Chain A
């Protein structure tokens, strides 16, 4: 279907089902149970899952295929957000022009940054992109936000004020919307003890994720994708054969920059505020972590990695001692305090620690990321049945992710 082979079609369908049914899948526990702490099916987090999924898919086109490790992709995310908010300020709260502009502007920036950075490869390329991203961050944080020429509104973040012109607004809503349908509109379905949120903004993001995913699959399977893989395996040899690889790498860089811009635009569309922190090097590092954690060079890996990290950031960071006490309340006092002392450093503000340990475990035991973990489990079952390793396992062994 849609020019894909059978296997890719299956993956696409799986992604489609997962995203469409996410409100159910992410809210497995009844609202009033003590496990409700682990529910992730509220609109904001679901939106973040798919938006960062798009970001990671785009990053994977560059890193997974060409092996060029960009440490500055957050710059494009931020640029996308700023463009989108400016569209809200100047035109109206309709998200379509905002998202369109964010892709275009991020694309333009990535042409310039890519053109310069791609003159070098390996660590030098990473450093160059990092330098550009930090430059953008500082520009946004202070240089471009002075009272005389305020493009980014500095630390406070760019937001929409009532006094902004909004030339096309007319009588449209005061919140972000797509042709009148508000992004934040949510329908809550209550079934017994469970409650499920269906949010307009989430479904818009999910649809865009599906389109982005589809495009990414097509790129992976195209001759262009093959060329990018060749760059990864041995660029020098490729150059000796007379091929100029730079247009290909630049194209990959620009495509992934546009994906980042799209993600940034969507972030602003869900919540019309663009802060400079979005461009900081930590944000650039985060997408690298997402991709590696999920499995670089695999199709679905980056989406899984993005979900994993965002889940930790938003759910684990909110488990405080108070919550721990309710969990272990049934135990005798000494036991309770002991357990809380043990668990305490890993939850709440210690979520970075837990994530770090997970990341180490994944890198050491599953160099191919979570996807490899999935494959291992899958193979375990298949071996029991057919006693022959599947083609994916073969492929995974041939192409270890880096």
Chain B
């Protein structure tokens, strides 16, 4: 290194500069995000109000993200009185009249979460700090949803999560400013269990493959608990790395394990690959313990069914919502057809469950603001807590105050034998009523969380 040229004068000078620099921030009085005169973060001042839609536009869930964004755009159109109004007419609360929210025109900004917590938080922060978004919605992965929900809680913004299925979102990571319309892993398992027992009996041996991360674990834990209650036995649970694309090496042990059911706790591309491998290994044609070998995928979407092609035939799984619900199960699910109609007219194909949950969340938020007569997050939280509604496609629904989770019927589906067209890949086996999937907020799988106080920010 160079010889040090530290002099007394140089030291004093450097010290003074550093001290000045360090003291600089204190010159500004400490003011938290937003403007103090309005009492909460990003209070809308003009004649528009900005919502932030933060969805994955790149990465493994980009398809779901694109569908979510379509639904958001549709919701904004309907809120502003354009288009055919969609579910506005079927929604049980009648405060939405197509004149925006509280008379202010709805504008929106969109961002790319890249399915990464970091990028999602950066994108949400820019919506809050730069664009003045009053509510953030979206997300297509539980990790991202939890991360953004935490951020919104700190910033004093309402977070209406999109597709997130992990128990943690409204379990141990629940937040007062965050709300989830989508169902969760526990509900999937609770809805599936009676159907599984009906279809496959009460004496089964399970082998499960689980994606090795938070969502996979909560899904596995939930389904194991639910099936063991039926009398099923879990022989082995094998964790597979998330980045795995080839699951052949996991299939041979399944054949030799003596199990007669394989549960795949995989999502997205993982599930498509593992299911394809399982079918290639002839698991579906096997007889074990005198019974047909069965495969169960607790959560799957239309997009995954599309990816898996013929292999999805006969596979049982659960969904939050399906576009055929009202046609097949009647008026209880009113709103479904209205939504499918306006979505189909605009984009030319039926919406996915991700789209439905995002559309519903946007309407629910707008309605809550109208009922509360204020954009203040704390007023909105109060309006949404224990709010009972109907007509958004899921039947009568409750937004529970204790954990900000929606309770509604869960759809159990099965891959269709002979699909009529490319959108008609699954058939509805049963709709499990909400009572059967309701649980205590302090259930062990959800315990350890604390909503905390609602935070209005400023």
Decide if A and B are genuine partners: yes
Chain A residues at the B interface, C-beta cutoff of 8 Å: 2-3, 39, 42-45, 48, 138, 141-142, 145-147, 153-157, 159, 162-163, 175, 181-182, 184-188, 197-198, 200, 203-204, 207, 210, 218, 221-224, 271, 273, 275, 277-278, 280, 313-314, 317-318, 320, 322, 348-349, 351-352
Q: Give Cα distance in the complex from A157 to B122, angstroms.
A: 14
Q: Which residue on chain A has the smallest CB distance to residue B116?
A: A277
List the B side residues contacting A322 at CB < 8 Å. 73, 108, 110
A223-B2 in contact (CB<8A): yes
B419 at the interface (CB under 8 A from A): no
List the B side residues contacting A186 at CB < 8 Å. 31-33
Complex partner residue of A181 from B26, B150, B243, B448, CB under 8 angstroms: B26
Determine which residue in A147, A155, A197, A218 has the highest number of CB atoms from chain B within 10 A of its CB, and name it: A155
List the B side residues contacting A142 at CB < 8 Å. 212-213, 239, 241-242
A138-B110 in contact (CB<8A): no
CB proximity to A under 8 Å, residues B238-253: 239, 241-243
Q: Which residue on chain B has the smallest CB distance to residue A314?
A: B126
B12 at the interface (CB under 8 A from A): no
The segment from B90-98, B138-146, B228-236, B424-432 found at the interface with A is B138-146
List the A side residues contacting B215 at CB < 8 Å. 155
B118-A275 in contact (CB<8A): yes
CB proximity to A under 8 Å, residues B24-46: 24-26, 28-33, 35
Q: Give Cα distance in the complex from A166 to B213, angstroms.
A: 27
B28-A185 in contact (CB<8A): yes
Closest beta carbon of chain A to B128's beta carbon, Å = 8
Q: Could you list 18 further interchain pairs (A-B, Cβ under 8 angstroms) beyond the known A273-B151, A348-B57?
A: A2-B14, A3-B4, A42-B126, A42-B129, A48-B122, A156-B173, A157-B118, A159-B150, A181-B30, A182-B32, A184-B154, A186-B33, A198-B28, A271-B121, A277-B119, A314-B123, A317-B111, A351-B112
List the B side residues contacting A162 at CB < 8 Å. 450, 452
Complex partner residue of A273 from B33, B121, B212, CB under 8 angstroms: B121
Q: Give Cα distance in the complex from A320 to B108, angstroms.
A: 10
B327 at the interface (CB under 8 A from A): no
List the B side residues contacting A147 at CB < 8 Å. 217
Closest beta carbon of chain B to A353's beta carbon, Å = 11
A155-B25 in contact (CB<8A): no
List the B side residues contacting A45 at CB < 8 Å. 122, 126, 130
List the A side residues contacting B277 at CB < 8 Å. none
* A43-B58 contact in complex given A3-B5, A141-B242, C-beta closer than 8 Å: no
Closest beta carbon of chain A to B125's beta carbon, Å = 4
Complex partner residue of A156 from B31, B119, B146, B448, CB under 8 angstroms: B146
Complex partner residue of A349 from B4, B31, B58, CB under 8 angstroms: B58
Q: Give Cα distance in the complex from A186 to B241, angstroms.
A: 42
B117 at the interface (CB under 8 A from A): yes
Q: Give Cα distance in the complex from A63 to B123, angstroms.
A: 30
Q: Which residue on chain B has the smallest CB distance to residue A3?
A: B5
List the B side residues contacting A154 at CB < 8 Å. 143, 213-214
Q: Give Cα distance in the complex from A184 to B123, angstroms.
A: 16
Closest beta carbon of chain B to A4's beta carbon, Å = 10
Q: Give Cα distance in the complex from A224 to B2, angstroms.
A: 8
A-B contact count (CB 8 A): 155
A275-B147 in contact (CB<8A): yes
Number of interface residues of B (CB under 8 A): 61
Chain B residues at the A interface, C-beta cutoff of 8 Å: 1-2, 4-5, 10, 14, 21-22, 24-26, 28-33, 35, 57-58, 62, 73, 108-112, 116-119, 121-123, 125-126, 129-131, 141-143, 146-147, 150-151, 154, 168, 173, 212-215, 217, 239, 241-243, 448, 450, 452
Q: Give Cα distance in the complex from A3 to B35, angstroms.
A: 45
Q: Give Cα distance in the complex from A81 to B150, angstroms.
A: 17
Closest beta carbon of chain B to A229's beta carbon, Å = 15
List the B side residues contacting A349 at CB < 8 Å. 57-58, 62, 112
Closest beta carbon of chain B to A130's beta carbon, Å = 14
Q: Give Cα distance in the complex from A182 to B154, angstroms.
A: 13
B2-A157 in contact (CB<8A): no
Determine which residue in A45, A153, A184 has the highest number of CB atoms from chain B within 10 A of its CB, and name it: A184
List the B side residues contacting A185 at CB < 8 Å. 25, 28, 30-32
List the A side residues contacting B33 at CB < 8 Å. 184, 186
* A157-B117 contact in complex given A181-B26, A186-B33, C-beta closer than 8 Å: yes
Q: Give Cα distance in the complex from A184 to B116, angstroms.
A: 22
B32-A278 in contact (CB<8A): no
List the B side residues contacting A275 at CB < 8 Å. 116-118, 143, 147
B151-A207 in contact (CB<8A): no
Q: Give Cα distance in the complex from A185 to B239, angstroms.
A: 43
Q: Which residue on chain A has the smallest CB distance to residue B69?
A: A320
* A181-B25 contact in complex given A3-B5, A318-B111, A320-B110, C-beta closer than 8 Å: yes
Complex partner residue of A187 from B31, B112, B141, B239, CB under 8 angstroms: B31
List the A side residues contacting B32 at CB < 8 Å. 182, 184-186
A155-B214 in contact (CB<8A): yes
Q: Give Cα distance in the complex from A222 to B142, angstroms.
A: 49
List the A side residues contacting B30 at CB < 8 Å. 181-182, 185, 200
Q: Which residue on chain A has the smallest CB distance to residue B57?
A: A349
List the A side residues contacting B243 at CB < 8 Å. 138
List the B side residues contacting A198 at CB < 8 Å. 28
Q: Give Cα distance in the complex from A147 to B4, angstroms.
A: 52
Complex partner residue of B58 from A184, A221, A223, A352, CB under 8 angstroms: A352
B10-A218 in contact (CB<8A): no
List the B side residues contacting A271 at CB < 8 Å. 121, 125, 151
Q: Give Cα distance in the complex from A222 to B57, angstroms.
A: 46
List the B side residues contacting A224 at CB < 8 Å. 1
Q: Give Cα distance in the complex from A200 to B146, angstroms.
A: 26
Q: Give Cα distance in the complex from A237 to B146, angstroms.
A: 54
Q: Give Cα distance in the complex from A142 to B288, angstroms.
A: 33
Q: Give Cα distance in the complex from A172 to B180, angstroms.
A: 32
Q: List 18 A-B contacts (CB under 8 A).
A: A44-B125, A142-B242, A154-B214, A155-B117, A156-B168, A157-B146, A163-B450, A181-B30, A185-B28, A186-B32, A203-B24, A273-B151, A275-B117, A313-B122, A317-B123, A348-B57, A349-B58, A352-B58
List the B side residues contacting A39 at CB < 8 Å. 130
B122-A156 in contact (CB<8A): no
